[in-house]
């Protein structure tokens, strides 16, 4: 078995306007990096569209219908809030993003891939149950987690998040359900303002807020001392990664100072947890990362680590 790369050209058609940091070139650069010879073993698959049933395990039907009803004209942008907008291609892109995450779960549970990297956009970890925000429309990782429980009977699902921004949406969806686990390292203070260490849900939420300027040593210590032990104690049947690469020192939207190698390191630690608890089953879903060079390099070492195992 190898690693599935799940993506779709429709994700390039989501456009939030000129100069917006969450732009189609983000995905283009990631996919270009994954064309190198070392990535030839990847199983390249087209992300399907998520179904209404899959989406409404997380989002109220009114929210899903409202998002899917927004269909701007070819040259129009519909602004949802100050950061988040939709174009003519956004609804399909959002369906492919959530559907790709679902496909990643199916790939590792059916056994035709040992891990999956879902390279889609828009990202998802800021989308709350009923609120699109922070560049996100649907909560892709959360939809995948609920799918794992509904279709595959996975009793405990963990989402781990190393994006520089706290995944308020994932926390909002998980915080009252002890069968779901969320661990996040993130800059604090920073958008969206959530993610204090005191936010514990029902004992299933673990936040490691990092001060601006924190680098590799602080990041690795947070995972080694708090987040990885908590994940180990939860003993998940499936691990889903919210893989944001905007904690890189080159990223323009925050002030953490991670090196590219840190993303290989955390990926290797999460693989070890997956091998210990869930037969190596691991699904990674692309979140943030806004310096194109740093994003491409960081995603490449992340996927390379998945392939090595």
Asked whether the beta carbons of 118 and 100 are under 8 A apart, the reply is yes
Q: Where are the beta strands (DSSP E) in the chain?
A: 3-7, 43-46, 78-79, 85-86, 115-118, 157-161, 180-187, 205-210, 238-243, 282-286
Pairing of β 115-118 and β 282-286? parallel
Catalytic residue among 59, 125, 126, 248: 126
Residue 28: strand, helix, or coil: helix
The angle at the Cα of 149, spanning 192 to 230, to the nearest 5 degrees, equals 55
C-alpha dihedral sign at 178, 180, 185, 186: negative
Asked if 186 is an active-site residue, the reply is no
Contacts with 38 (C-beta within 8 Å, 6 or more apart), sequence order: 304, 307
Active site residues: 126
């Amino acid at each position: 078995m190898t690693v599935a790369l799940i993506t779709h050209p429709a994700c390039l058609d989501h456009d939030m306007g000129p100069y917006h940091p969450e732009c189609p070139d983000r995905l283009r650069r990631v996919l270009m990096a994954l064309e190198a010879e070392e990535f030839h073993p990847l199983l390249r698959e087209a992300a399907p569209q998520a179904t209404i049933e899959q989406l409404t395990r997380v989002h109220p039907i009114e929210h899903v219908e409202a998002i899917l009803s927004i269909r701007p004209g070819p040259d129009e942008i519909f602004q949802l809030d100050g950061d988040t907008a939709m174009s003519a291609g956004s609804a399909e892109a959002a369906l492919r993003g959530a559907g790709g995450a679902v496909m990643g779960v199916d790939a590792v549970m059916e056994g035709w891939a040992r891990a999956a990297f879902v390279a889609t956009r828009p990202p998802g970890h800021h989308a709350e149950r009923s609120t699109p925000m922070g560049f996100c429309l649907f909560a892709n990782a959360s939809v995948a987690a609920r799918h794992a429980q509904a279709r595959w009977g996975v009793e405990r699902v963990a989402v781990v998040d190393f994006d520089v921004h706290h995944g308020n949406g994932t926390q909002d969806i998980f915080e009252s359900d002890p069968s779901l686990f969320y661990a996040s390292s993130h800059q604090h203070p920073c958008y969206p303002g959530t993610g204090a260490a005191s936010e514990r849900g029902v004992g299933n939420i673990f936040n490691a807020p990092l001060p601006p300027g924190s680098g590799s040593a602080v990041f690795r210590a947070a995972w080694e001392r708090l987040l990885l032990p908590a994940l180990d104690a939860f003993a998940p049947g499936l691990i889903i990664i919210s893989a944001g690469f905007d904690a890189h020192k080159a990223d323009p939207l925050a002030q953490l100072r991670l090196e590219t190698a840190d993303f290989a390191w955390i990926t290797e630690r999460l693989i070890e947890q997956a091998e210990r608890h869930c037969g190596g089953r691991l699904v990674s879903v692309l979140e943030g990362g806004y310096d194109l060079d740093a994003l491409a390099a960081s995603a490449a070492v992340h996927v390379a680590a998945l392939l090595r195992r």
